[in-house]
Amino acid sequence: REDLWAREGKILNPEKLFFDEKGSADIQLDCKDSIIAPGFIDVQINGGFGVDFSLATDDFKSGTDLVSQKILSHGVTSFCPTLVTSPPSVYHQVLPQISIRNGGPHGAGILGAHLEGPFISKEKKGAHPEHCLRNFEAGAFQDLLATYGSLDCVRIVTLAPEMKRSSEVIRELNKRGICVSLGHSVANLSQAEEAVQHGATFITHLFNAMLPFHHRDPGIVGLLTSDKIPAGRRVFYGMISDGIHTNPAALRIAHRAHPKGLVLVTDAIAGMGLAPGRHTLGQQVVEIDGLNTYIAGTKTLSGSVATMDTCVRHFQEATGCSVETALEAASLHPAQLLGIEHKKGTLNYDSDADFLMLNDALYVQATYIAGEEVWRQDALVM
């Protein structure tokens, strides 16, 4: 119910302005009863609007530019372009073209790449092409470097922790400030706990592409209530809350078991924002039918076409959680996962002025980055 002050791209403590500088606002805006919330952060998005981040092109940048522009209307102010399992040549061509950058009128900020694979399990490959999957050879971390070519712009790596030598890889990635996520895996709970003890902090799309929960060995899902997590550490988990990938009851179970770790991700593919039909996901062809996306000719789910604001609304509806909780799952929690909560994911003083105006039904009305309006609903009616 109070005012939000922004200056020079940051959220301002107004006391400083009133008492030290004796200043006042240059521009005042009536938010007309909107909810103001931190901008959404999508840490797993494979593409959208016809663009596929796992396709190597010489003009990769124009594709990321288009997606970063288009997701502003869905409340996303920063994101991690995600590459699914690909041949080394694709990583070598694409990764040098991804640059970490701030958001603005040109589009959402890029926080770094999320590399999902190729060091994942054959049994739980999901929509990832089997011929590109790899194991860690003798020089495990060197192997990973040779596959990716460079880790300069990499923020998250998803791998299967049951693979031999994965512990040393997790430790090395951790040392470089890269978040390790467990996914596409047949790991049992003790393998998952060991990975967390070595530094893994995230679970890629919980329940999808992992062993189903079993009461004698709950697998990766068991990390949500494990008592073997190092003190002071939190395990986060991504969920695709689109009503397709996880039954609302599964969403409720996860949320009730570990509410502070839930991170909403879209796992969106190139077909997001496009008409039903055939589209790509890396090396595969996918078919979109409503909100369902399958590897062509199969019933294997392959990413989603849900937008982040849709996921937030579905999550709130499915769990009956508070509006604040739903918004934090798309803003505060991903920021905490990436260790950037001092800059993003909150409306605290001195954090980046990336925020949204939403109506009570959680539809985005306007998107702001660094205190500047970058998208507004009624601008489309002109």
Q: Half-sphere exposure of residue 139, counting CA atoms within 13 Å on the CB side?
A: 5
Structural domain contains residue 26: no
**Rounded distance between C-alpha atoms, residue 239 and residue 25, angstroms:** 40
For residue 212, say if its preceding peptide bond is cis, omega within 30 degrees of 0.
no
Cβ partners under 8 Å of residue 21, min gap 6: none
- For the segment 38-80, what is each residue's pLDDT rounded down to a tens digit? 999 999 999 999 999 999 988 899 999 999 999 999 999 999 9
- Tokens linked to 340: 């950037």
What is the span of the domain harbouring residue 216? 38-347
* Domain assignment present for 371: no
CA angle 78–79–83, rounded 5-degree value: 165
Catalytic residue among 42, 52, 242, 267: 267
Q: Which of 213, 238, 207, 215 is nearest to 308 (CA)?
A: 238
* Predicted local confidence at residue 379, as pLDDT: 61
Distance CA 201, CA 43 (A): 13
Closest of 5, 61, 29, 50 to residue 376, by C-alpha: 29
Going by the annotation, the residues of the binding site for Zn(2+) are 116, 184, 205
Asked if residue 257 belongs to a domain, the reply is yes
| Beta partners for residue 277, in sequence order | 288
Annotated binding site: 116, 127, 184, 205, 208-209, 216, 245, 301-303
Residue 231 lies in a domain: yes
DSSP H or E stretch at residue 109: strand 109-110
CATH of the domain at 117: 3.20.20.140
Q: How far apart are CA 39 and CA 52, in angstroms?
A: 23
The pLDDT score that the predictor gives to residue 290 is 85
The answer to whether residue 283 is domain-embedded is yes
Q: What's the confidence (pLDDT) of residue 325?
A: 98
Segments of the chain scoring below 70 in pLDDT: 379-382
* Whole-model pTM over 0.85: yes
* Token pair 């979109």 in the structure block, residue: 288
Within 10 A of 107 (CB to CB), how many other CB atoms are there?
24
pLDDT of residue 381: 44
Residue 14 backbone phi and psi in degrees, to 5: -65, -20
Instruction: Give dist(CA 160, CA 183) in Å, integer.
Output: 6
Q: Is residue 353 part of a domain?
A: no
Q: Pick out the residues of the known binding site for substrate.
A: 127, 208-209, 216, 245, 301-303
Q: Is residue 14 part of a domain?
A: no
- Whether residue 356 lies inside any domain: the answer is no
Q: Report the number of distinct structural domains present in the chain.
A: 1
Mutual angle of helices 248-257 and 308-319, in 10-degree steps:
80
Q: CA separation (Å) from 93 to 51, 56, 88, 98, 359?
A: 16, 6, 9, 10, 42
26 is catalytic: no
Q: Whose CA is closest to 124, among 150, 164, 85? A: 85
